[in-house]
Amino acid sequence: MPHLEPERLVLLALGEEALDQHETGHLDTCDQCRADMDSLRNVAGLGRQTQRLRELPPPPEHVWRRIRAELAASGRGEPPPAVGLHSDPPPPRPGLTGDAGDEQADPGPESAHRSGEPTGPGDNRTPPGDGRTPAGDTGVPEDAMPWATPPGNTPWIAPSAETGWEALPGNTAWTTPSGATGWETPPNDATWAARPDDDAWETLPGDDAADAEDPADAVPTARLGASHEWDAFGAADERDELQYNVFQPDRVQDRPLHIGQVRDGRDVDDDGAGARRARGGGRAARGHGWGLTAAVAAAAAIVAGVAGAGVGVRVVGGRGSGDAAAECRAQDSRVRLEALPGAPAGASGYACVRTSGGQRRIVVRADGMPVQIGADYEAWLIDDSGPGERVAALGVLGAGPDLALAAPATVDLSQYHIVEISVEPHDGDAGPSGRSMLRGRLP
């Protein structure tokens, strides 16, 4: 008898058909056909068990951060220079960096990959307890963070691999992120926050002078630890666009963060950072507010960088901009935000980039997202062009479905292509939780 036909072998291996007498006889004597048969049966058996493996959940994002940190620490996995990923790195800014001394030393292109990360094998476990910090979930040797010590009373903004940026306010005692214990003392314990204010930009005369003159209302100016991380962005220049200011905490409670509008025109102020703080209280809520502050401070840093010498940024607020600014117009090309594994059924969303008055804003809309208890939805911008993701917080969407968020583009949108919406529990960790629900890629 000739060898079994390949199609016949497959059908037999799949168990669709049974061997007849001749075929059985052939298999007994033909090693080749028997080997084929055994192999195909194995494959069929294994193939039937692949169904649940089609949509495996990804490992938590912090695993990636640890990989990156370990590679950076090993000295063999240095990523390509961050500045090299940008088309137009800015020149050094002596006016901003001149008096900073050692601490101001350019942390170098690899710094983003070192900050807030363990520095070697064996230091990889998440420390016990609430060890999560805004800078990461593991220990941070200070020498890995050239910017870890703020110079004098100067407000300080430092890049972070995790949150994108962290604001380290001046005029306050603060503690460096110390290893597993995290932020023992958040800067200026009552927490910074940003809020919208009435009008107009405010330009401050210099870096430090303004703070010294009027610390209560001073606008922290930026020192750019690694300004090339943010080398291109559209500076806000219109009053009715959202802009940001960073204020001292005595004004926080009555004027909470205003970072977006509810789609139907309701202000999210009532349910914004202030409300979250009130609800959550204590460390958890503060941590969340801190994350938002970080994003806002990043905006301040970039504005200062673009303008050269110290520049104050004043929130103009979303009040004037109304709903319309939080909607994608017909001419704005939308990208769908796809539901990721783990997202609630029916969840969907879209995002678009709006340009008006030379400023780019990202409008994010999510639908079908159930209300979270003890958590919020937060939108992030992610740059995945490099070896590691860089993440910038866009803002919190709020507690319910059908919310839209408008935020100014404070980052180079040619780098930050991915918009993601994640569930952020009130756990004191300002970084992305990794529980991403929706994701889309901007054109």
Partner 1 sequence: MVAITASGRAAPVSTGHPHGDEGEDGFTELFRAGDERALRMAYERFGPAVFHLALRGVGGVADAEDVTQATFVAAWLGREGFDATRGSLLGWLLGIARRKVVDQIRASARDDRISDSVRRMAAPARDGAADAPPDHIVDRLVLADEMARLPGEQRRVLELAFYDDLTHPQIAALTGLPLGTVKSHLRRGMARLRSRWEVDGATSGARAAGTPGAR
- Return residues touching partner 1 (CB under 8 A): 6-7, 10-11, 13-14, 16, 39-40, 42-44, 46-51, 53-54, 56-60, 62-64, 66-67, 70-71, 74, 76-77, 79-80, 121, 124-126, 384-389
At 276 the three-state DSSP class reads helix
Instruction: State the sign of the Cα–Cα–Cα–Cα dihedral 75, 113, 221, 213.
Output: negative
Q: Are 373 and 413 in contact (CB under 8 A)?
A: no
Task: Give me the residues paired with residue 360 across strands.
Answer: 355
If the CB atoms of residues 113 and 354 are measured against partner 1, the closer one turns out to be 113
Cα(221)–Cα(31) distance, integer angstroms: 79
Please state the separation of Cα 351 from the chain's center in Å. 16
Q: Which residues neighbour 48 within 8 Å (Cβ) at sequence distance 6 or greater?
A: none
Q: How far is the CB of 140 from partner 1 (least distance, A)?
A: 17
If the CB atoms of residues 12 and 303 are measured against partner 1, the closer one turns out to be 12
If the CB atoms of residues 2 and 122 are measured against partner 1, the closer one turns out to be 122
If the CB atoms of residues 114 and 223 are measured against partner 1, the closer one turns out to be 114
Q: Are 349 and 438 in contact (CB under 8 A)?
A: yes
Cα(107)–Cα(439) distance, integer angstroms: 31
Cα(116)–Cα(121) distance, integer angstroms: 15
**In a 10 Å sphere around its CB, with 0-12 CB exposed, 13-18 middle and 19+ buried, how is residue 442 labelled?**
middle
Cα(193)–Cα(223) distance, integer angstroms: 19
Q: How far is the CB of 61 from partner 1 (least distance, A)?
A: 10
Q: How far is the CB of 91 from partner 1 (least distance, A)?
A: 26
If the CB atoms of residues 251 and 435 are measured against partner 1, the closer one turns out to be 435
Neighbours of 422 (CB within 10 A): 22
Question: Going by DSSP bridges, is the β-strand pair 403-408/359-367 parallel, antiparallel, or unpaired?
Answer: antiparallel
If the CB atoms of residues 29 and 51 are measured against partner 1, the closer one turns out to be 51
Q: How far is the CB of 162 from partner 1 (least distance, A)?
A: 15
Q: How far is the CB of 47 from partner 1 (least distance, A)?
A: 5
Q: How far is the CB of 231 from partner 1 (least distance, A)?
A: 19
Q: How far is the CB of 338 from partner 1 (least distance, A)?
A: 14
Q: Are 183 and 284 in contact (CB under 8 A)?
A: no
Q: How far is the CB of 266 from partner 1 (least distance, A)?
A: 37
Q: How far is the CB of 128 from partner 1 (least distance, A)?
A: 11
Q: How far is the CB of 45 from partner 1 (least distance, A)?
A: 9
Which residue, 310, 296, 96, is CA-closest to 204? 310
The end-to-end CA distance of the chain, in Å, is 61
Give the pair of three-digit tokens for residue 72. 């950076």
Cα(248)–Cα(214) distance, integer angstroms: 11
Phi, psi of 378 (to 5 degrees): -130, 140
Question: Which residue, chain included where needed, has tokens 């001419």?
Answer: 331
**In a 10 Å sphere around its CB, with 0-12 CB exposed, 13-18 middle and 19+ buried, how is residue 433 labelled?**
middle
Q: How far is the CB of 72 from partner 1 (least distance, A)?
A: 10
Length of the chain: 443
What share of residues in the chain are helix, strand, coil (percent, to 5)? 30, 20, 50
